[in-house]
Amino acid sequence: MHAEPLGLPLAEALENKVISPNMDLPQLVEKFAEFGWSEKEVGNIWAFGPDATNNNILVNATTSVQYVNELKDYIVSSFQMAYDVTTMADAIHRGAGQIIHTSLRCMYASELSAQPRLVEPCYLADITCPEQSLGGVQSALSRRRGTIIEEKTTISGFFNFKAYLPVKESFGFSLFLSDATRGLASIQLSFDHWESIDSDPLDLSSSSGEIVRSIRIYKRLKGGIPTAAEYQDKL
């Protein structure tokens, strides 16, 4: 595709409505002949634009290209969009094409600049065990990033723990706890809340960064995490 000036006389004829897209083909052929256009060139005019002024012309100059007419509507739409604003000034910035993309970039950059943190789901673990298993319960929770929030003795003399356990660490925890307490502890898990992970997900060397990186690789995205600067316009 290439562009070239129409020439001042033809541009003035279009601007002054001497030539109009509303004319039929014989009239257009007659008018354009005054500016050196052949009948074939006029017959291959796809569009005038933009609609408000019609001082640009899109001409199909292809030869022996299959299915080109199936693309005509899309190409004409692109032509109208391209010449709806000036190439140099691009004065109109209120359309969806400008606002949506710009807003998305601003929101992504704002989120990355706001010291984001990952959150993970946490279970409330209700654990009951005899006194001789206290050490095993505490050790098992500690090794799985569990946090004890309550500890009390029941009427029957057993100890009851309530602890927060990250869902990610809960897989296989019942067996792990059983091994640590020789099968003397029982546990019930129920979802409780979402917990913020303290490490920085933008730092790939942190635990959060490694989680983000693995998720991005799984989704076939770039392994690296975008920075706010990547969403800034660059001239």
| Same fold? 8-82, 119-196 | no
pLDDT of residue 7: 86
- State the pLDDT at residue 157: 81
How confident is the model at residue 86, as a pLDDT? Answer: 54
The pLDDT score that the predictor gives to residue 123 is 95
Output the pTM of the full model: 0.52
CATH topology of domain 8-82: Ribosomal Protein S5; domain 2 (3.30.230)
> Which residues of the chain have a pLDDT value below 70?
52, 85-98, 234-235
What is the per-residue pLDDT for 92? 57
Nearest of 137, 135, 113, 114 to residue 126 by alpha carbon: 137
pLDDT computed for residue 226 by the predictor: 82
Q: Which residues contact 166 (CB under 8 A, 6 or more apart)?
A: 120, 121, 122, 123, 144, 145, 146, 195
Q: Which CATH class is domain 119-196?
A: alpha beta
* Sequence ranges of the domains in the chain: 8-82, 119-196
Q: Does residue 62 contact residue 68 with C-beta atoms inside 8 Å?
A: yes
Q: What is the pLDDT of residue 148?
A: 92
For residue range 193-226, what is the model confidence (pLDDT) as tens digits?
A: 999 888 998 888 898 988 888 888 989 888 778 8
